[in-house]
Amino acid sequence: MIDYIEANCIVPPLNSHPEHDEESGTWDVYFEEREGANPYELETELICIALDTMEEAQDLIRKSVDLYYKETQNEENVQEDQALV
């Protein structure tokens, strides 16, 4: 799941806590679609990842936030390397 998010979504998720959908009984985590992930060049959309348990949703949020910090750190390292050149 995190591979899909890394390829198609902007991290971190839009909600810091999973939202329970009473109708479907799922725990939902929302992301904004990454630009360029859409092959038809449509407007970016909201992506809802529906999970069966709150624990799964919380784990997905934690992994997404970790991914965000990892991406941010990588960007900072690249900028530092370019400044040294």
Which tokens in the block code for residue 54? Answer: 């709150």
CA atoms in the 13 A half-sphere facing the CB of 82: 6
Q: Could you read off the pLDDT of 10-42 as tens digits, one per residue?
A: 999 999 999 999 999 999 999 999 887 567 777
**Looking at the 3D structure of the chain, how many domains does it have?**
1
What local confidence, expressed as pLDDT, does residue 36 receive?
A: 74
What local confidence, expressed as pLDDT, does residue 75 receive?
A: 75
Q: Which of 23, 32, 20 is nearest to 58 (CA)?
A: 20
Which tokens in the block code for residue 46? Answer: 């909201």
| pTM across the whole model | 0.80
What local confidence, expressed as pLDDT, does residue 83 receive?
A: 66
Domain of 30? Answer: 2-84
Q: What is the DSSP annotation of 36-79?
A: T--TT-PPP-EEEEEESSHHHHHHHHHHHHHHHHHHHHHHHHHH
Q: What is the mean pLDDT of residues 51-77?
A: 93
